[in-house]
Amino acid sequence: MSVEHGFHATLTTRPGKGDEVVELLLDAPSLTNDDCVVFLVGRSTTNPDVVHVTEGWTTAEAHRAFFASEQAQALVANLQSLLDGESTYSDELPVGGKAAF
């Protein structure tokens, strides 16, 4: 399946909320969405309150449609209550690689 849309986000949580944010993300509804081809969650090795997310979607339209859903909006609301400050986003188009857990 091809990826035409993606991004990388860095989220800074409120102190001590990194584990909770990771748990929410690893249970995100996008993981079961067929248009979400890449969904990786990572942690900073030096700051446990910094969480990284890389997503790849079949199209920008599929991503927009998913995030307009009630399920996605609920996740975003839950995440927002745990974050401290603005998250940073950069465009990123996943092109390949490996993730073995």
The pLDDT of residue 100 is 77
Amino acid at 19: D
**Domain residues of the chain, as ranges?**
5-91
9 pLDDT band, cuts 50/70/90, is very high
* Beta-bridge partners for 8: 54, 90
Of residues 54, 49, 55, the one with CA closest to residue 11: 49
What residue spans of the chain are helical by DSSP H? 18-26, 60-67, 70-80
User: How do residues 28-82 score in pLDDT, each as one tens digit?
Assistant: 998 999 999 999 999 999 999 999 999 999 999 999 999 999 999 999 999 999 9
pLDDT of 1 > 90? The answer is no
The C-alpha atoms of residue 101 and residue 99 are separated, in whole angstroms, by 7
Q: What is the CATH topology of the domain spanning 5-91?
A: Alpha-Beta Plaits (3.30.70)
pTM, two decimal places: 0.91
Q: Are strands 88-91 and 50-57 parallel, antiparallel or unpaired?
A: unpaired
